[in-house]
A and B are shown apart, each in its own frame.
Chain A
């Protein structure tokens, strides 16, 4: 029976310097697939390379060919085997299938649940198909992979929890405001954290960015970087009537915005919602502001709590996803075993037909007094006996039951009837 083998490195086993050396560009992938295709020991192959992993999935013709593939990598990437051998993992059969399913479902990613990975796996498969490197087995395996990845995404919450602070803050903003592109943001303080948060916000296209800083020059610098507008730090209270989201990260020891200030600003802005994200320690925004209606204040600890509960939630969802994946592996294994059952049954049928044919010919040659119809009847009868004889064994093979080992019975059948499967010749 054919084997499925996966050899690779990822972010868990290799540092970025090594991953870089072993990564395959799309041209390199095509060239490598072409070489593998010419190798008669490799029946099907697929190369999957992203910034976090390089993996080769293949079906060997004979044996396992692990060393050959490792040598192939070394030769193709011009890197000494000793440099990367310790970082390599080799998965075979069910383990390989399991690993592949996990990778595509984003359980093996650096940021678990990130959605890009499935697209990358699909691209790798497309390349393999376009270059005729994949065959029956890999085609089927990859389609099952896409199915399970979609199922995991759809039926578990693995992809929908924010696990970084700035991401959690943006998610909150999206649950408060319906359209961020209509909202303005004010940065208080021009530190690194503020910059990071704004980068996230910018990807959501906010309407306007104001930057207020005690050192005005810094504010101007940061504002020009984000196409925003610098305001004097003293103007911050006045600016409250025009902005909707305030991200504060000053080094101030006192609150830079107080409850009274915000209460007054609220009147001026007709009580439209204000969202304060306070990432400064000690805090910049008076927590009492949260009690004002339509004003929401989240400090760094609140955000951390959300992130932690999200991570916990993700853990639970991972367990669920793993269950789906394990089920899928079992199903795929069954399919592969069936693959061996079908040819066995076919070989068995062929063998019986051949015997009947030969024996009929031999016997009928000496019975020349029989009419044509008699001969046909005898042929039909002998064929029927043969079919009837192997009917029950075939039924048994088709359904050996879950608790029995299919491959054992297949093996016995082949030995009993002395059948060689074409693949194993």
Chain B
């Protein structure tokens, strides 16, 4: 059990993500169920390998693999895979796999491209509150990523119907109602997880630094992201922002998440800095 094994297993997982993506793209074009089924099982296998790789790493180094940006992204991909499996199981929205598998593979490519940063032993990165914080925020953001995927599919389908030119996607995508529903469920799930995730983050900050709020840029942007989603949910519930507007908002929201995830630390620094070395 050493780092090389962990790397190798992660390579297998990446390869599986890639084949799965190819399968989903084939499915998008010729709609054969066998491709979708195979691709789905491949994601399942990839997530399993991904998990094993992280376990080996943890055992070898006595650290959870969130020590640098590459590892955090890899962890994000893992949680995205998990959430995709969960929502696929719940809704059976086959076409969402196209979005999820492309995103998964893209993240993994970035994981491999990023230079291996030196991992310092950081005693701060331990404890129950931290792990809850990480799991909740990552699963929350993964759900919101899937909400964005559902939003993109919604817009594709909506455009065809609105402009009265049902095209390539018309037959391949399910009904607007259904896509909206999936997006909404992903959104509420993600929002709930993110909310609790932020709270655990504050508690963790209190435990480590003695204060709930430190004006760390990442804190500020995370709360900003949270407010955007809160506003979207409010508009949806009380002002009827459903359908197209809601879909556009989830897509914008996801871009803000990506910026908060990567951009803030790179540009502004702060104590989340460690994760992006």
Which residues of A line the B interface, CB within 8 A? 160, 172, 174-179, 266-267, 270-273, 290, 293-294, 296, 298, 302, 305-306
Contact assessment for A175 and B175 in the assembled complex, using a CB-CB cutoff below 8 Å = yes
How far apart sit A160 and B172, CA to CA, in the bound complex (Å)? 12
A272: B residues at CB distance < 8 A: 240, 242
What separation, in Å, do the CA atoms of A175 and B171 have in the docked complex? 8
| Given A293-B245, A302-B164, A175-B176 contact (CB < 8 Å) | yes
Question: Quick check: A271 and B175 within 8 Å, CB to CB?
Answer: no
Q: Which residues of B contact A172 (CB under 8 A)?
A: 161, 166
Additional 10 contacts, C-beta under 8 A, given A176-B176, A177-B176: A174-B175, A175-B173, A270-B240, A272-B240, A273-B176, A290-B162, A293-B245, A294-B243, A294-B244, A306-B164
Chain A residues near B241 (CB-CB < 8 A): 271
B interface with A by C-beta (< 8 Å): 157, 161-162, 164, 166, 170-171, 173-178, 181, 240-245
Shortest Cβ gap from A8 to chain B (Å): 35
CB<8 Å pairs between A and B, sample of 28: A160-B171, A172-B161, A175-B157, A175-B161, A175-B166, A175-B170, A175-B176, A176-B176, A177-B176, A178-B174, A178-B175, A178-B177, A178-B178, A178-B181, A270-B240, A270-B242, A271-B242, A272-B242, A273-B176, A273-B243, A293-B243, A293-B244, A293-B245, A294-B244, A296-B161, A296-B162, A298-B164, A305-B164
Bound CA span A294–B157, Å: 12
Interface pair A177/B177, CB less than 8 Å apart:
yes
Q: What residues of B have a CB within 8 angstroms of the CB of A174 in the complex?
A: 175
List of A residues within 8 angstroms of B244 by Cβ: 293-294
Q: Among the listed A160, A176, A266, A305, which residue makes an inter-chain contact with B240, where contact means beta carbons less than 8 Å apart?
A: A266
Q: Which residue of A lies closest to B163 (CB)?
A: A290
Q: Which of B161, B174, B181, B244 has most A Cβ within 10 Å?
A: B161
The docked-state distance in angstroms from the alpha carbon of A236 to that of B173 is 33
Tell me the dominant secondary structure on chain B's binding face.
Answer: helix
CA distance A179 to B170 in the complex (A): 17
Are B166's CB and A306's CB within 8 A? Answer: yes
Measured between alpha carbons, how far is A266 from B239 in the docked complex, in Å? Answer: 11
Chain A residues, Cβ within 8 Å of B161: 172, 175-176, 296
Interface of A is mostly: mixed
Contacts of B175 in A (CB 8 A): 174-178
Q: Nearest chain-A residue to B160 (Cβ)? A: A175
The CA-CA distance from A271 to B243 in the complex, in Å, is: 9
Residue of A nearest to B33 (CB): A154
- Cα(A49)–Cα(B176), bound, Å: 42
Contacts of B178 in A (CB 8 A): 178
Query: How far apart are the CA atoms of A117 and B162 in the complex, in Å?
Result: 35
Is there an interface contact between A267 and B240, defined as CB atoms closer than 8 Å?
yes
For the complex, give the distance between the alpha carbons of A293 and B176 in Å. Answer: 13
Contacts of A293 in B (CB 8 A): 243-245
Q: In the complex, which residues of chain A have a beta carbon less than 8 angstroms from the beta carbon of B162?
A: 290, 296
With CB as the reference atom, state the residue of chain A lying closest to B237.
A270
A302 cross-chain contacts in B, Cβ below 8 A: 164
- Chain B residues within an 8 Å CB radius of A296: 161-162
Complex contacts, A271 vs chain B, CB 8 Å: 240-243
CA distance A296 to B176 in the complex (A): 12
The closest CB in chain B to the CB of A266 belongs to B240
Determine how close the nearest CB of chain B comes to the CB of A261; give it in whole angstroms: 17
* A290 / chain B contacts, CB cutoff of 8 Å: 162
Inter-chain contacts of B176 with A (CB < 8 A): 175-177, 273
**What is the chain A residue whose CB lies nearest that of B245?**
A293
Q: How far is the CA of A272 from the CA of B175 in the complex (A)?
A: 14
Alpha-carbon separation in the docked complex, A236 to B52 (Å): 62
- Distance to closest chain A CB from B255 (angstroms): 22
Which residue from chain B places its CB closest to the CB of A173 in the assembled complex? Answer: B175
A160 to B173 CA separation, bound complex (whole angstroms): 14
In angstroms, how far is the closest chain A Cβ from the Cβ of B180? 8
Closest chain-A Cβ to B210's Cβ sits at a distance in Å of 46
A204 to chain B, nearest CB (A): 13
Which partner residue on chain B sits nearest A270 by CB separation? Answer: B240
In the assembled complex, which residues on chain B have CB atoms less than 8 Å from the CB atom of A178?
A: 174-175, 177-178, 181
